[in-house]
Amino acid sequence: MQTQVAVLTLLLVISTISAYLIMDGKANFRLKLLAIILFSGVVIFYIRIGFGRYFTTIDESYYVSLLGDSLWYKTSIVSGYITPFSLHLVYSFSSDVIGIVVRYSIVVAVLYILILFFAYQRNGVSKNHALLAILLLFITPLYWWSVIQIRPQQIGVLVGLILAVLIVTGRPTFRFFVGVLILYVALIFAHVLSFILYSAVFVMYLALLILWENKPRENAKKYLTVAVSIIVSWIVFVTFPYSSNLFKNMTWIANNVLNLQMSVQTFYVASTFVMEMFLAIVYLMAKYFSSHNPINLDSLKVPLLKLVDAEVNVFRRYLLWIVVGVAVLVVFYVQFELGAQIYTRVYNNSTAAVVFFQMGNLFFALFFLRGFFMKIRENTMTDFDILSVLWIPIGVALLIISFFMPKGSSIWGFHNWLVRTLQYFVVFASPIVAYSIMGDITPKNSVRMRSMLSLLLGILIIISVLNTIRIPGIYNYDTIWTPELVNVCQESPVSAIYTPRVERSVYYTFAMNNLLKVCGGYLKDPNSKSPTYLILSSDQLYVYIPDYRPIGLGAFENSLQDVGGIAWIIAGGNRDEVGEYALSLLGNAVPVPVEKDGDSCPLSPDRIGYPTVLVGGKAVNPCTLRLVEEHVVPVYLDSYSVRTPTGMYSVSHADAWWNVEDGLFVIQAVEYYNTPVLIIEGTNVDATLAAVYYFVEEVYPNLFLKYQNTKYIVGKWEEDDDTVIDVAKLTSQDTNGFSPGDKITILETG
C-alpha cells in the first residue's frame, strides 16, 4: 500500500510538473515534448505492470494469442492486419511475450505523441497549443484505452489521423490522390472499423465543404479522390484472400441488425453497391445545393453566436451551462445504462466510484464545450475542429445502432459502440479543449493560474490513469495476467495442458487461455478427464503433458508386427457399413464398438494394446474428437477444410450433403501409451472411404520404405468415373461418391 501511495505521489508530481512546463510559454518546446513523452512512457509502464499483475484487455489478449498461431491470417477473425503482423514481426526476435506487450505499447504511446504533435501542428495550431492538447488527452481514460490496447484500432486511429491531415491540408493534385489512396488502403488493412468511421467523417466534412466554401471545384476534386479511394480500398480488401473470416462476421452483424439472411457473397456485392450509391448521392446532393441553393454559413453562425454570447445576458449564460451540464450527464447516464451490467461489476456497484473515476471525462467534455463556444464566438473554428464536431453525430448514430446490435457472447459483445467513437473523438477534440484552457492563461495571472491549472490537470490525469489501470479493491477487473501465470506459461513444455486450480471469472479465464496459447498450450476444463502425467503444480495451475504425441506412420507397422498383425478399428458414425468397408480392406482387424452417446471413446490406458485405427472425423468418431480437443494431432479437419502446420486447403460447399464430388482427407498418427493410433478421416464420408482405400492400397504396403517418418498425409478425392460403391451410397439419389476408380491427389505430407 505504501508503495502504491509513493508511486501515485510521484506520478502526480511528474504530471503537475509536465503540465506546468507545457503551460510555460518560454520553455523550449523540445524539452516539453521530451517531458510529455517521458511521462507517457512511465504511465503506460505503470498501467501495464502496476499492482503486481500484468494489465491486459479482452481484445488485446485475443490479438496476443495469435502469436501462438503462425497461420493467424487464414484462421482467425481479425479486424485489421497491421497490428497482428507487427506483433508477429517483433515476436520473431524475442519470445518474451510479456516483454513484447509492455515494450510495444510504450513504443506506440511515443508514436502517438509524435504523430499527434505533427497532426495538430499541420492543422495550424502553435507548438504550445499542440503540446497542451496532447497533455489534455491524458485526463481522459478514453485516450489511454486507445493507446495502450494492442489491437487494430490502436494503429487505425493513427493512420486515420494522418489521412485527416492530408485531406484537410492537401491540395487536390495527383500526388494528393496517390497519397490519399495509399493511406486509405493502409487504413482498411490497419482497422476496418476505423476505415468505416473515418470515411463517414471525411464524406460529411467534404460534403459540407462543397456546400459552404467558395472553392467548389477544388472541394469536389477532394471529395471524388476520397470517394474513389474508399471504393478502391474496399474492393482491394474484399478481394484480399484472407479477409473472408472478417466478412463472415460482418455479414452476421448486418443480418442481425437489418433482419436479413444475406450470404457473404451477397454482402460483398451489396456493401460495395450501397457504398457507391451513398457516395454518389451525397456528392450529387452537395453539388446540387451548392449551385442551386447555397447555404450561407454566416446565417448559421448568428443563432449560435447569440446562444453562446455570455456578455449579452447572464441569465442566458447560466441557462446554457445548465442545459450543457444536464446534456453531458444524460450522455454519461445512457452510456452507463448501456453497459450497466458490466460497469456495476467493474465498479463494485459503487456510484461514487463511477462519478469519481469519470472526472477526467467530465472535465474533458466541459472544457470541450466551453472551447467550442469560445471558438464560435471568436470565429476561430478550424477544419480540424469541424472534424471533431462531426464525430458527435457518428457517435450518436452508433449509439442508436447499439440498441439493435446482436448481444454477442459474454466475452464479445456489441453493447456500446459510442465508446469506440469517443476514442477517436478525443484525439480530434483535444485542440479545442486546449483552446479553452489557453484562454485562462494570461501574462498577468500566469504563475498562480498555471500552478492551479497544473495541479488540477495533474489530479485529473492521475484519476484517469487509475481509471484505466482498474485499481484492485475499487475495481472488480481481472482481465489480467498474474506473474505466476506468466512464469508457469513460459517455463512449461510446449503443448502442455493447463487446468486452473481455482475458479476465476470468464474474463480472467479468457485472458489466461489466450496467453497459454502463445506458450503452445491450452486451457482444459477442470471437470473433464485429465491426462495421466501431471508434470507441474503451482498455486493456480496444474500442468499436464498430453497422453498422445504425433508419430510417424511407420510406427504402426512396427507395432502391428509385435501383436501378430491384428489392429483395432474404431469407426465412428451411425452407418456401420463404413466401418465394415474399412474392416474389409484392413483385413486382420478387430472392430471395437463405440457407444453412441457421451465421451464414449474406448481408448484408455486400461484398454490399449493393439495398434488402433480411428476411422471418421471429430463429428462422428468420439476418439477423433478427443484427439482434436486435446490439440495433439498435427492436422485439423472440418467439413470443408483441412489445416496443416504449414497451410490450409478447402473444398467447395456441396449443394446436398449426400451429393458430393470431391473431398479432402487426412491420414495421420499419434502415439498413446506406446501404441500407435492411426487416424483416417475425411471432410465427408466419400473422402473418408477414399482415405481408407488409399491407406490400404498405397500407404500400408510402403509404410516401412516410404512413410516411416511421415506424420501426416493430406489428400483430395475427386469423383472421376461416375461410379459409387454401395457403402458410399448415402441415399437412393446418390449418384456421386467414392469408388476405387476415382482420382486421388496427395496435397501435402509432413
> Among residues 536 and 654, whose Cβ is nearest to another protein?
536
Q: How far is the CB of 534 from another protein (least distance, A)?
A: 5
> Among residues 27 and 405, whose Cβ is nearest to another protein?
27
Task: Report H helices in 138-215.
Answer: 141-148, 152-169, 174-190, 192-212
**Residues 212 and 220 sit within 8 Å (Cβ to Cβ):** no
Q: How far is the CB of 51 from another protein (least distance, A)?
A: 6
Q: How far is the CB of 435 from another protein (least distance, A)?
A: 23
How far apart (Å, rounded) are the C-alpha atoms in residues 634 and 452? 64
Q: How far is the CB of 577 from another protein (least distance, A)?
A: 20
Grid cell of 456 as nine digits: 488540477
> Among residues 106 and 125, whose Cβ is nearest to another protein?
106
Radius of gyration of the chain (CA): 31
Helix (H) or strand (E) holding 631: none
Q: How far is the CB of 308 from another protein (least distance, A)?
A: 36
Q: How far is the CB of 538 from another protein (least distance, A)?
A: 5
CA 254 to chain centre: 18
How far apart (Å, rounded) are the C-alpha atoms in residues 318 and 369? 14
How far apart (Å, rounded) are the C-alpha atoms in residues 312 and 317? 8
Q: How far is the CB of 3 from another protein (least distance, A)?
A: 5
Q: How far is the CB of 684 from another protein (least distance, A)?
A: 30
> Among residues 408 and 483, whose Cβ is nearest to another protein?
483
CA 233 to chain centre: 20
Helix (H) or strand (E) holding 427: helix 418-438
- Strand-pair category, 712-718 with 743-749: antiparallel
How far apart (Å, rounded) are the C-alpha atoms in residues 367 and 385? 14
> Among residues 334 and 447, whose Cβ is nearest to another protein?
447
How far apart (Å, rounded) are the C-alpha atoms in residues 170 and 158? 18
Kindly list the residues in this chain that would bind another protein in the complex (CB under 8 A): 3-4, 6-7, 10-11, 13-14, 17-18, 20-21, 24, 26-28, 31, 34-35, 38-39, 41-42, 45-46, 49-53, 482-484, 487-488, 493, 532-540, 543, 545, 562-564, 566, 568, 590, 605-607, 609-610, 673-675
**Residues 7 and 46 sit within 8 Å (Cβ to Cβ):** yes
> Among residues 18 and 388, whose Cβ is nearest to another protein?
18
> Among residues 6 and 281, whose Cβ is nearest to another protein?
6
Amino acid, res. 376? I
Grid cell of 697 as nine digits: 492400397
Helix (H) or strand (E) holding 414: none
Q: How far is the CB of 564 from another protein (least distance, A)?
A: 4
Give residues with Cβ within 8 angstroms of 310, minimum separation 6: 316, 317
> Among residues 38 and 284, whose Cβ is nearest to another protein?
38
Q: How far is the CB of 445 from another protein (least distance, A)?
A: 19
**Residues 421 and 394 sit within 8 Å (Cβ to Cβ):** yes
> Among residues 28 and 380, whose Cβ is nearest to another protein?
28
How far apart (Å, rounded) are the C-alpha atoms in residues 111 and 86? 14
CA 325 to chain centre: 35
> Among residues 59 and 671, whose Cβ is nearest to another protein?
671
CA 370 to chain centre: 35
Q: How far is the CB of 625 from another protein (least distance, A)?
A: 23
- List of long-range contacts for 175-181, beta carbons under 8 Å, 24+ apart: 176/222, 176/225, 177/225, 177/228, 177/229, 180/225, 180/226, 180/229, 181/225, 181/228, 181/229, 181/232, 181/233
Q: How far is the CB of 145 from another protein (least distance, A)?
A: 20
How far apart (Å, rounded) are the C-alpha atoms in residues 159 and 167? 12
Q: How far is the CB of 268 from another protein (least distance, A)?
A: 48
706, with CB counted inside 10 A (0-12, 13-18, 19+), is middle
**C-alpha dihedral sign at 657, 659, 662, 663:** positive
> Among residues 484 and 576, whose Cβ is nearest to another protein?
484
> Among residues 584 and 646, whose Cβ is nearest to another protein?
584
Q: How far is the CB of 183 from another protein (least distance, A)?
A: 34
> Among residues 31 and 304, whose Cβ is nearest to another protein?
31
Grid cell of 138 as nine digits: 491524458
> Among residues 34 and 280, whose Cβ is nearest to another protein?
34
Cα–Cα separations (whole angstroms), residue 715 to 48, 392, 523? 47, 55, 31
Give residues with Cβ within 8 angstroms of 443, minimum separation 6: none
Grid cell of 270 as nine digits: 451489396
**DSSP track, 431-472:** HHHHHHHHTT--TTTHHHHHHHHHHHHHHHHHHHHHHHHT-B
The DSSP symbol for 598 reads S
> Among residues 605 and 701, whose Cβ is nearest to another protein?
605
Q: How far is the CB of 46 from another protein (least distance, A)?
A: 5
Q: How far is the CB of 41 from another protein (least distance, A)?
A: 8
Give residues with Cβ within 8 angstroms of 112, minimum separation 6: 40, 147, 158
**Residues 63 and 514 sit within 8 Å (Cβ to Cβ):** no
> Among residues 31 and 258, whose Cβ is nearest to another protein?
31
Amino acid, res. 436? S
How far apart (Å, rounded) are the C-alpha atoms in residues 22 and 13? 14
